[in-house]
């Protein structure tokens, strides 16, 4: 272990974590411990400890939890576990009691997958859901006791270097863990404001009535956001029931349920994320775009009656905002799974 651990709090022997945590609250007059969930952050490098700790510190202001930052270095020569504890506290208003969340940091070196899983399971807050944020490539072997305990698996498909392989592993995990494992892809959440603006714009009868006649889709995206764009294409295809029918040059081709051929083009731009989505039929079209850095999404609808522009908030999509969004339950998981299934056919 050779890294700067100052941000991780008090170093403690693993066996003493529970008692040392209790000691944190011994002077409970001014501080209240709050916890509604377990947030475990799994990473395979100590280099992200500082950044993750800073993110946890911001996250717990809105989501009281027990955070467990778990660094797993299986290739370490000397097996061992190091641990640190700390409390992240904030005042709800001047003069009020401080509200605190605990963070346990565990560094597992040279341990087996099962041993790492047991280490994590042993330190969860009792009877609260487990949200596991898996940073990096998913495990090859899903045979770990942890997957039966995880309620929500948070991942970021934008970091996938081999999407097809990651989807394969993800499917394996889901088969192993069962239906209760909820997937939360931060990359999917990144496009939430865009999808909401598109969905609301499609409430207009002039667009809704054209669903069967849609024939073009064009998405502009930054160099690192191709997978975000492909997920959007897969979302359209799943919701509108298009069937992938090959490609023509740079175009992806789809058949709509009414037999119309739809051409889809993805273009790389200098902008960040997905900057523009245009979809339409010969009679009506919609373009939703965001200028770099603008807080607004502009939705421009063109139909027989003319052009209508509507503005939507682009939303705050930093990592903390994405994580917070994932904590809101809803039916998004089901729609994501449909998009993910479609994504496989587009890779």
In the complex, the residues that contact other proteins under the rule CB under 8 A are 32, 34-36, 60-64, 92-94, 96-97, 99, 101, 195-200, 202-203, 205, 208-209, 211, 236, 239-241, 295-296, 298, 301, 308-314, 316, 321, 328, 330-336
Nearer of residues 4 and 127 to other proteins, judged by Cβ: 127
Round to the nearest angstrom and report the end-to-end CA distance of the chain.
39
Nearer of residues 26 and 94 to other proteins, judged by Cβ: 94
Tell the residue number behind the tokens 């700790």, with chain if given: 53
* 124 class by beta-carbon count within 10 Å (0-12 exposed, 13-18 middle, 19+ buried): middle
What separation in angstroms does the CA of 35 have from each of 141, 144, 289? 31, 26, 39
| Least distance between other proteins and beta carbon 251 (Å) | 22
Q: How many C-beta atoms lie closer than 10 Å to residue 274's C-beta?
A: 25
| Least distance between other proteins and beta carbon 27 (Å) | 16
| Least distance between other proteins and beta carbon 283 (Å) | 14
| Least distance between other proteins and beta carbon 277 (Å) | 12
Nearer of residues 194 and 225 to other proteins, judged by Cβ: 194
Nearer of residues 84 and 202 to other proteins, judged by Cβ: 202
What separation in angstroms does the CA of 217 have from each of 208, 234, 236, 263? 15, 12, 9, 6
Nearer of residues 76 and 99 to other proteins, judged by Cβ: 99
Dihedral angle of Cα 244, 258, 281, 223, to the nearest 10 degrees: -10
Nearer of residues 119 and 219 to other proteins, judged by Cβ: 219
| Least distance between other proteins and beta carbon 34 (Å) | 4
**Cβ distance 106 to 119 under 8 Å?**
yes
Closest CA to 50 of 3, 14, 13: 3
| Least distance between other proteins and beta carbon 296 (Å) | 5
Handedness of CA 191, 195, 196, 197 (dihedral sign): positive
Nearer of residues 72 and 289 to other proteins, judged by Cβ: 289
SS3 262: strand
Nearer of residues 160 and 236 to other proteins, judged by Cβ: 236
Q: How far apart are CA 254 and CA 263, in angstroms?
A: 7
Closest CA to 297 of 317, 312, 316: 312
Residue 342: half-sphere exposure toward Cβ, Cα within 13 Å:
26
Handedness of CA 75, 77, 80, 82 (dihedral sign): negative
| Least distance between other proteins and beta carbon 243 (Å) | 15
| Least distance between other proteins and beta carbon 55 (Å) | 16
């Amino acid at each position: 272990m050779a890294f700067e651990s100052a941000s991780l709090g008090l170093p403690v022997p693993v066996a003493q974590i529970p008692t040392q945590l209790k000691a944190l609250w011994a002077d409970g007059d001014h501080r209240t411990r709050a916890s509604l969930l377990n947030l475990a952050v799994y990473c395979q490098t100590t280099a992200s400890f500082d950044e993750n700790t800073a993110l946890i510190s911001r996250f717990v202001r809105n989501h009281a939890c027990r955070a467990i930052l778990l660094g797993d270095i299986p290739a370490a020569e000397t097996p061992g576990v190091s641990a640190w504890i700390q409390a992240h506290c904030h005042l709800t208003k001047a003069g009020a009691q401080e509200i605190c969340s605990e963070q346990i940091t565990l560094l597992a070196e040279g341990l087996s997958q099962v041993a790492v899983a047991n280490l994590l399971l042993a330190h969860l807050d009792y009877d609260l859901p487990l949200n596991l944020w898996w940073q990096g490539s998913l495990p090859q072997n899903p045979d770990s006791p942890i997957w039966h305990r995880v309620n929500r698996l948070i991942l970021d498909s934008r970091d996938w270097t081999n999407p097809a392989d990651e989807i394969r592993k993800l499917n394996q995990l889901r088969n192993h863990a069962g239906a209760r494992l909820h997937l939360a892809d931060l990359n999917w959440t990144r496009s939430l404001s865009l999808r909401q603006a598109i969905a609301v714009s499609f409430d207009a009868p002039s667009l809704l009535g054209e669903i069967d006649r849609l024939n073009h889709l064009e998405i502009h995206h930054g160099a690192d956001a191709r997978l975000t764009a492909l997920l959007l294409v897969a979302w359209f295809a799943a919701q509108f029931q298009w069937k992938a029918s090959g490609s023509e040059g740079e175009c992806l081709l789809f058949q709509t349920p009414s037999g119309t051929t739809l051409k889809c083009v993805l273009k790389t731009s200098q902008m960040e994320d997905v900057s523009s989505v245009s979809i339409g039929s010969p009679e009506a079209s919609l373009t939703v775009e965001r200028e770099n850095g603008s807080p607004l999404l502009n939705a421009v609808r063109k139909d027989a009656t003319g052009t209508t522009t509507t503005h939507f908030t682009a939303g705050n999509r930093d990592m903390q905002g994405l994580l917070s969004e994932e904590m809101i339950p809803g039916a998004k998981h089901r729609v994501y799974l449909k998009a993910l299934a479609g994504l496989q056919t587009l890779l």
